Amino acid sequence: MASALETLCGQAFGAKTYDMLGVYLQRSWIVLFLCAIFFLPMYIFASPILKFFGQPDDIAEMSGTIAVWVIPVHFSFAFFFPLNRFLQCQLKNMVIAFSAGLALVVHIFVCLLFVYGLKLGVIGTMATVNVAWWLNVFILF
């Protein structure tokens, strides 16, 4: 969907129909958000699915835990990638670079705090990934 948005927004920007840029962005948010909801059962039931396909129990349980913590990241993708394409089509690449750089710096410090300072391990790592991606979304918005 984000790739289609890149094409549509590029055409709208080139044709100087700027009002359509926002319309395309909002439509892509709706479609990707609904797709994210559609994939929720796969994340929620990752452990039983993996066990059904013969994965060892310890790996399936850890994967299921990580899959649950990936859900917020999955929803952030529904907003981040259309925003990214929306800004790229308007040649506002410095905004995207600033957002990525700031999110990286925050990610490093929050990761050090959660994983080593608070000793949260894998859960801390996934929490920092959530923070970094949602920070990217909020900066671009």
Radius of gyration, alpha carbons of the chain: 18
Taking phi first (over 0 means left), then psi (-120 to 50 degrees means alpha), and beta for anything else, what does residue 91 get? left
Domain boundaries, the chain: 1-140
Residue 96 has pLDDT above 70, yes or no: yes
CA distance 131 to 141: 15
Are 66 and 126 contacting, i.e. CB atoms less than 8 angstroms apart? Answer: yes
- How much of the chain exceeds pLDDT 90, in percent? 57
pLDDT tier at 121, thresholds 50, 70, 90: confident
**If we measure between CA atoms, which residue out of 141, 5, 18, 3 comes closest to residue 79?**
141
| pLDDT number for residue 70 | 92
The count of residues in the chain is 141
Report, as an integer, the average pLDDT of 69-90.
90
pLDDT tier at 11, thresholds 50, 70, 90: confident
pLDDT tier at 103, thresholds 50, 70, 90: very high
Label residue 93 exposed, middle or buried (CB < 10 Å: 0-12, 13-18, 19+). Answer: exposed
- The structure tokens listed for 27 are 């439509």
Report, as an integer, the average pLDDT of 62-88.
91
